[in-house]
Chain A
């Protein structure tokens, strides 16, 4: 009785003082507080999404295949995938007894229903072009010969089919139960098979995921989105904190448990704190300097090469990433299995040669505009370094700072001379090159317009022969170093900062946060 009274009094006093931190400390074993830098768009996989939305959704839904830790593709809801010899038929054998959030068991019928919905133009699924023939693949039929088998037939073989299925920006083609839709046929909430289900979503403030107690895990070791996943905490609260400095302050004062993408400039400070720890991983995004090869001044390859030669890309990579990333002058990310010795070759700084080329090209100090944005510090910092280094070769660069929307607009129109830009991750080298290459008349955003190279790329996209593909990629890399439509600096690195009592969280090249297998001690 007395103990209760004391406890009650303490609680009342604490509440009266209004100290949310204490109250939250009591609930800490149940709730993991993770930072989200902006509210998500929707919970519909691959429909009206952005990076943050993908991260949340992929906790709740699972696809037939998904990404392993090394970003290769592995089975998730499928227990095995068989390909026909002609590469046009894929047979997925489903795992048995997998439960949806509403208790129903997943069958082939659910898979077919989900895919029919994805491939329906009315759904507005982001990856529809990848599967309806506009992109690499055309799916001609999807059938369920029995409750545990699904068969996809393609018009022609492609190396990218499974990879596209696993794409994070398409919700991993997560399999849904039809009760995800309301009675009116509109999207309600995701009823998937993932280790978490949707909790409370207070728009603009936070979103909560709750542990799904009926989750059916795989038996193999956890790897990426595949393998054994277990929701160790009862609840994950994604708190929306747009401002990076405020997020850091919150982490330091124990108002947040985890920041999946902390600012690399804070690394030293975060490492020094006893109550925090840090996880680092290279990512598959690409940061670089884009050239407009149709610009009157920059169409001369000598000037482009001169600019490339004036830069010490090792220094840029190291400084901008705070020592976390090394130079990578290839379009293929360093962590990709296709990043060969050839790919490792790149630009070397040579101011004398740069000057020689400039004189030969008749450059007489005309100012060149370099577009950057403050929205992403790395882009801005890189621009500042480029300007300073180019000056060493007598190249005059003016930085023009735009807001992100305007910069993206200029990028998509090709309306710039130089641009400090960053590409979102591409998980297959063919896609990495495809994002850079294309006919500028039809696709003004592409930086590299070389029909011969494009033809080679098309071969690599369709082929399943690894050696053939590697040879083509190596060839493309050599050409890229010659023609300099872009100078790639590095692939980013993620710094995940968390309180010391958070265990099990790993950062990985695909960047998206994964809160399963994560515990609060």
Chain B
């Protein structure tokens, strides 16, 4: 088991390296100079060049890349160009904000989606099923930021129940801080429930038709037992894969939600850094995200055999 995990992690190194190079090159290709941005329209070329030299931005690209990778091996992600702060602590802090929202939202969504999907599958083609599917499809058709804006407009501004801007870390104030997260989490839950419900339903339907289920039914085993022992675990497996994909991709898509709800999360950090051409931050965030993506998929693969006995444990 340990060997498998290590091997998987090692195998991802080439991909990570590729990502690192691609990000590095791509960012430098985009026109726009972080130093020019910092100094504004008042600075002349000499001042800009001088500042670039101070920050080591005038060295040849391979040299800069080498420095960066070398620092990485020592756990140093470099310093942000904008405010000279170390990148890794910044990423971790922002990540904790995004992660909490995503994890809570996905957990809630799963708790809603799996029973809904099972119910729909069990009642296939009857009114309950149609209603659930229509609801799920509607939910995932709505643009997340539009939903967020509407919720903010209604519950935040109109009713005044929730704060409209800002953020208080949970470590500082558990209850007060949680209040800032309610609306973004609800937005995400609504959308992800739609996606996951459909998947849960589809895999549940597939399992239902399997012979051992019909066999159990014929034997007279009560419905709930069938669901609990056979349908649920098997339906969950593909849903698990989807959860993995969803989690991995969500970090990218969450930038818009963080903009709407003014949360200091990882998505917004990336977007702001790209606009500011803050190379170390962009590179750091991307590398970190790729790593998370790999880890999440690894966990999913490890959990899979628990739910689907047909898949051999690694």
**Pairwise interchain contact B83-A39, C-beta atoms closer than 8 A:** yes
- Is B44 at the interface (CB under 8 A from chain A)? yes
A255 and B164 contact, CB distance less than 8 A: yes
B276 contacts A20, C-beta separation under 8 Å: no
Q: Is the CB of B163 within 8 A of A246?
A: no
B156 and A203 contact, CB distance less than 8 A: no
Known: A21-B160, A246-B262. A404 touches B37 (CB 8 A): yes
Q: CB < 8 Å: which of B38, B44, B178 contacts A18? A: B178
- The answer to whether A408 touches B176, judged by C-beta atoms less than 8 angstroms apart, is no
**Max chain A CB contacts within 10 Å: which of B160, B163, B164?**
B164
CB distance from A202 to the nearest CB of B (A): 9
Stretch at the interface among B28-36, B102-110, B229-237: B28-36
1/0 per residue, CB under 8 A from B, across A469-497: the answer is 00000000000000000000000000000
Contact status of A408 and B41, CB under 8 A, knowing A48-B84, A246-B164, A249-B165: yes
Decide if B264 is an interface residue (CB 8 Å cutoff).
yes
Give the complex CA separation of A405 and B179 in angstroms.
Answer: 36
Question: Of the candidates B90, B157, B165, B276, which one forms a contact with A241 in the assembled complex, judged by CB atoms under 8 Å apart?
Answer: B165
The closest CB in chain B to the CB of A48 belongs to B84
Inter-chain CA distance A203–B269, complex, in Å, is 12
- A388 touches B (CB below 8 Å): no
Q: Determine the interface band of chain A, counting residues with CB < 8 A from chain B.
A: 35 or more
A252 at the interface (CB under 8 A from B): yes
A21 close to B260 (CB less than 8 A): no
Closest residue of chain A to B54 (Cβ to Cβ) is A124
Verify if A129 is at the interface (C-beta below 8 Å from B).
yes
The chain B residue with its CB closest to the CB of A124 is B54
The answer to whether A410 has its CB under 8 Å from any CB of chain B is yes
Cβ of B68 within 8 Å of any chain A Cβ, yes or no, is no
Check B45–A412 contact: CB distance below 8 A: yes
Residue B85 at the chain A interface, CB threshold 8 Å:
yes
CB-CB contacts below 8 Å: B226-279 with A: 259-262, 264, 268, 272, 275-277
Asked if A113 lies at the interface with its beta carbon under 8 angstroms from chain B, I say no
Is there contact, CB below 8 Å, between B85 and A249?
no
**Contact call B31/A18, Cβ cutoff below 8 A:** no
Given contacts A405-B275, A408-B36, A423-B41, contact A253 B164 (CB under 8 A): yes
Q: Is residue B75 within 8 Å, beta carbon to beta carbon, of the partner chain?
A: no
Query: Which residues of A, 241-258, contact B by the 8 Å Cβ criterion?
Result: 241-243, 246-247, 249-250, 252-253, 255-256
B210 interfacial by beta-carbon distance below 8 Å: no
Q: Which of B15-64 contact A (CB under 8 A)?
A: 30-34, 36-42, 44-45, 47-48, 51, 54
**Chain A residues whose CB sits within 8 angstroms of the CB of B277 once the complex forms:** 405
Judge if A406 is at the interface, Cβ distance under 8 Å. yes
Q: Does A143 have its Cβ within 8 Å of any Cβ on chain B?
A: no
Q: Is B82 an interface residue (CB 8 A)?
A: yes
Instruction: With CB as the reference atom, state the residue of chain A lying closest to B160.
Output: A253
With beta carbons under 8 angstroms apart, the residue of B42, B84, B165, B178 that contacts A42 is B84
Are B32 and A129 within 8 A (Cβ)?
Answer: no
Which residues on B sit within 8 Å (CB–CB) of A408?
32-33, 36-37, 40-41
Partner of A405, one of B37, B84, B160, B264: B37
Question: Within 8 Å of chain B (Cβ to Cβ): is A239?
Answer: yes
Name the B residues within 8 Å of A39 (CB-CB). 83
> Does A15 lie at the interface of the complex (its beta carbon under 8 Å from any beta carbon of B)?
yes
Q: Is B175 close to A, CB under 8 A?
A: yes
The distance in angstroms between the C-alpha atoms of A80 and B298, with both chains bound, is 72
Residues on B with beta carbons closer than 8 Å to the beta carbon of A411: 41
Asked if A169 is an interface residue, CB under 8 A from chain B, the answer is yes
Cβ-defined contact, B166 with A435, below 8 A = no
Chain B residues within an 8 Å CB radius of A435: 41-42
B202: interface (CB < 8 Å):
no
Give CA–CA (A423, B82) in the complex, Å.
21
- Given that A42-B83, A42-B84, A409-B32 are known contacts, is A250 also in contact with B40, CB under 8 Å in the complex? no
Which 4 A-B pairs give the minimum distances between C-beta atoms? A405-B32, A250-B165, A18-B179, A204-B264
Binding site for B on A (CB under 8 A): 15-16, 18-21, 23, 39-42, 48, 50, 124, 126, 129, 169, 203-205, 239, 241-243, 246-247, 249-250, 252-253, 255-256, 403-406, 408-412, 421, 423-424, 435, 443-445
A-B contact pairs, 17 of them (CB 8 A): A42-B84, A124-B54, A203-B85, A204-B93, A242-B262, A249-B165, A253-B164, A255-B165, A255-B166, A403-B275, A405-B34, A406-B30, A408-B40, A410-B31, A412-B48, A443-B44, A443-B45
Known: A21-B160, A23-B176, A424-B40. 9 other contacts (CB 8 A): A39-B83, A40-B83, A50-B40, A241-B165, A242-B259, A243-B262, A250-B166, A412-B36, A445-B41
